[in-house]
Structure 1
Amino acid sequence: MEGRGLNFALVGCGRISRKYAEAFTSNKLPGSRLIAVCDVKYERAKALGLRLEIPYYRCQHEMLQSHPEIDVVNILSESGLHAEHCLDLVKYKKHMVVEKPMALTMQDADAMIQACANANIRLFVVKQNRYNRPVKLLMRALEEGRFGRVFMVTARVRWARHNEYYEQDQWRGTYKYDGGVFANQACHYIDLIQSIMGVPDYVFARGTRVGAPIEAEDLGVAVFTNGPVIGVLEATTATRPGDLEGSLSVLGEFGSVELSGVALNEVRTWKFQSATPYDQQVLTSSCELTDSVYGFGHTAYLADVVRALRTGEKGAVDGVEGRKTVDILSAIYESMATGKEVSVDGNYKNSLLGRESDFGVPRFSPGGGELQKPLFVTPHSLVG
């Protein structure tokens, strides 16, 4: 593929598809183009196709059979169907870009990696926050050893998802197809935590529902340990009236950094014992103004996919790297289900992610927002 443009297609035209439309109309992916889209909700595919003036389909097989020139398929369907769509389409031998998380179970993640390897195609998992300018500056400081020994990593996802969001699609907030705030909204922050502190040895997590009529959690806290390093994640979609922050802090023996904004798009704190020439520029030129929790990373991520495919280099986040998040997510949901600290070892018998649950959708009390029953009924439940 070296030296020529790449043709992309979308499977799924829901909420996140707008970021792909922006990327391919931004003139920042020279030589690459979006040539077709599909969605089982045909009106969605039609609306996006007409806006971009490209063909649109209801069926992914019809789309791929009609366009053998497609090089890369972007799977943007609900999380619980990522594996099904990947395994269903691998026979076309098109490279795959899969939205986060790549799957909801370890079995599905492993099957996707193996199937793509057998077909000799590349599997990429979208982790666009790695490409935010403030995040790249943070990673540069880590690589340069400026923190010394890192001892704590903390992330906060305080966003708002009202009932209208969950009512857009019946799969939202279900264990089988989506999960809660940890699996959906906080997934990228889990990726960054493990990128900094490594895959945890152990996880302890609690979660509950406070603001949404869904199966899974909309409020939770998780604590990670990797040897002496501690990670903490606070996540909720029950912030009211609107999004508050998406932030990340790293504390080390020689420095402290805090990224903030609604999507890790600002540097709030940048302090090190030893100065470097670029420190003066970090606080003044690293801010990326946005009111979108998605940030700006999708275009940069797709540019890295294009580069990796053209050069044959590793580049963008691959399936093996994306699997790490699935492992940690599974441990989080295992811990929430059991009320115990869980080893991150790929063996999770009680995690509800990717499974039909017996909880069902909760009901709200008349005229109020308080749930009639807690999400997890254990001796350690956060709710009485």
Structure 2
Amino acid sequence: MAKTWGIGIVGCGTIADFHMKALSEIEQVRVAAVSSRSEEKARSVAEAQGCAWYTDYKALLHDPNVDIVSVTTSSGSHHRIGLDVLNAGKHLVVEKPAAMTSAQVAELIRTAEANGVTLSVISQRRFEAQHQAVRQVLDDGALGKLLLLEISLPFYRTQAYYDSADWRGTLVEDGGALMNQGIHSIDLLLWFGGPLASIYGKVATQTHRMEAEDIGLGILQFKNGAFGTVMASTSIQPGFQAALNIYGEKGTIKLEGTQIVHWTVPGVPEPDFGAPAVGGGGVSDPKAISYVNHKLQFIDVIESIETGRTPLVTGMDGLRAVQLVESIYASSESGKPVLLEG
């Protein structure tokens, strides 16, 4: 009989709702426990889920019915809570970004390895059909030599969004347009383009009262010789879909949101995925996303644990994404490019 995996969820905010909806559609899992600093919130969510609840997440980590812990708290707490999860011998699925610095993510990776447990960072956009199709094209070499990869995230967030919690828009707890909103596009850029050699960046806070940036730009060079550009903002009204363009010596793929808007790949017809996916992609409302791809990522994580293989999204993937953002910050401050080793 197949094992039923018990999931513990730390944090009962908006993102936790996406995780719980995703998990409700997977046969071999159940939400075993939830925790929130608010007793009222923890109790109400637990009653809806039919599970245990805690106001101290450390008590959840000692619940024998919990095998995998999903951390959906504010970004700045991911490192501290994640370390406790891994040291308790539980598998960890942590929302993006994995932590706020590359040193913190590296510590999570080391701790997972030391305890023999799986670490995966939520990067659900990898599981979207169009991105899977692009990855297959690149794996097959159908675009030839990569020339340029571009990501653009012209989002909009109101001042009220940043004022809604004292940690929002702070460098230590939340990050700005790059670390918070842009991290998914950055993950895709690195998944498609491979390791980086150098990064030149600029950041600014142009339209909001906040510590972190509301626009960030990067010019990249990949180790394979391709160039890359990054733009992420929360100041662009009314907000537009994230875009990703890939130019190779043999063809071009352009994506906007979940749609393929141009496909020139020799010998490979454009995929047809039917009707557009539901959800606004978080362009101007962070709640306007689909939970379907969270479901696919949870399935991948569970299969990786059961079979002993590496999950599609690893801690190292989370490290590279945070490292890119850190490098843009460092380059913006120094006015010089950051050269990456290894």
Task: Give the letter aligned to residue 288 of structure 1.
Answer: A
Q: What's the TM-score once normalised by structure 1's chain length? A: 0.82
* 1:125-152 deviation digits (Å, cap 9, x = unpaired): 1111100111111111111111001100
Q: How far apart are residue 336 of structure 1 and its match?
A: 2.0
Q: How far apart are residue 314 of structure 1 and its match?
A: 1.3
SS of the aligned residue for 1:220 comes to: strand
SS of the aligned residue for 2:188 comes to: helix
Aligned pairs for 1:329-340 (under 5 A) are: 329-340=325-336
State the partner residue of 1:161.
Answer: 157
State the partner residue of 1:15.
Answer: 14
2:134 corresponds to 1:141: no
**Is residue 267–residue 286 contact of structure 1 (8 Å, CA) maintained in 2?**
no
**Is residue 36–residue 56 contact of structure 1 (8 Å, CA) maintained in 2?**
yes
Q: Note closer, same or farther for the CA distance 1:283–1:204 as it changes in structure 2 (3 Å cut).
A: same
Q: How far apart are residue 235 of structure 1 and its match?
A: 0.8
Distance 2:219 2:27 in 1: 42
Aligned pairs for 1:209-358 (under 5 A) are: 209-227=205-223, 228-241=225-238, 243-261=239-257, 265-272=258-265, 274-276=266-268, 279-280=269-270, 282-283=271-272, 285=274, 287-293=276-282, 294-295=289-290, 296-345=292-341
**Is residue 328–residue 344 contact of structure 1 (8 Å, CA) maintained in 2?**
no
SS of the aligned residue for 1:171 comes to: coil
2:97 corresponds to 1:61: no
**Is residue 268–residue 283 contact of structure 1 (8 Å, CA) maintained in 2?**
no
Q: How far apart are residue 284 of structure 1 and its match?
A: 5.8
* 1:141-190 deviation digits (Å, cap 9, x = unpaired): 11111100110000111112112322232111101111111011101111
Distance 1:143 1:316 in 2: 15
Distance 1:35 1:154 in 2: 41
State the partner residue of 2:286.
Answer: none
State the partner residue of 1:122.
Answer: 118
Task: Give the letter aligned to residue 28 of structure 2.
Answer: G
**Is residue 60–residue 66 contact of structure 2 (8 Å, CA) maintained in 1?**
no
Distance 2:250 2:58 in 1: 54
State the partner residue of 2:27.
Answer: 30
**Is residue 32–residue 65 contact of structure 2 (8 Å, CA) maintained in 1?**
no
State the partner residue of 2:43.
Answer: 46
Q: How far apart are residue 79 of structure 1 and its match?
A: 1.7
Task: Give the letter aligned to residue 243 of structure 2.
Answer: S
* 1:200-227 deviation digits (Å, cap 9, x = unpaired): 1111111111222210001121111125
RMSD: 1.9
Larger radius of gyration: 1
Task: Give the letter aligned to residue 69 of structure 1.
Answer: N
**Is residue 124–residue 317 contact of structure 1 (8 Å, CA) maintained in 2?**
yes
Q: Note closer, same or farther for the CA distance 1:36–1:92 as it changes in structure 2 (3 Å cut).
A: same
* 1:77-103 deviation digits (Å, cap 9, x = unpaired): 222221111222333211111111111
Count of aligned pairs: 334
* 1:297-345 deviation digits (Å, cap 9, x = unpaired): 2111111011111212113312122211122121111112222211134
**Is residue 13–residue 37 contact of structure 1 (8 Å, CA) maintained in 2?**
yes
**Is residue 83–residue 108 contact of structure 2 (8 Å, CA) maintained in 1?**
yes
Q: How far apart are residue 22 of structure 1 and its match?
A: 1.3
Q: Note closer, same or farther for the CA distance 1:95–1:338 as it changes in structure 2 (3 Å cut).
A: same
SS of the aligned residue for 1:96 comes to: strand
Q: Structure 1: which 4+ aligned runs deviate by more than 6 Å?
A: none
Is there any run of 5+ residues in structure 1 with no aligned partner, and where? 347-384
Distance 1:107 1:325 in 2: 12
Distance 1:342 1:236 in 2: 21
State the partner residue of 2:95.
Answer: 99
> Is the helix fraction higher in 1 or 2?
2
Identity of aligned residues (%): 26
Task: Give the letter aligned to residue 23 of structure 1.
Answer: A
Distance 1:321 1:220 in 2: 21
SS of the aligned residue for 2:178 comes to: coil
SS of the aligned residue for 1:224 comes to: strand
**Is residue 85–residue 92 contact of structure 2 (8 Å, CA) maintained in 1?**
no
Bigger shift: 122-131 or 205-214?
205-214
Distance 2:237 2:38 in 1: 31
Distance 1:344 1:40 in 2: 40
Distance 2:219 2:165 in 1: 31
Q: How far apart are residue 52 of structure 1 and its match?
A: 2.6
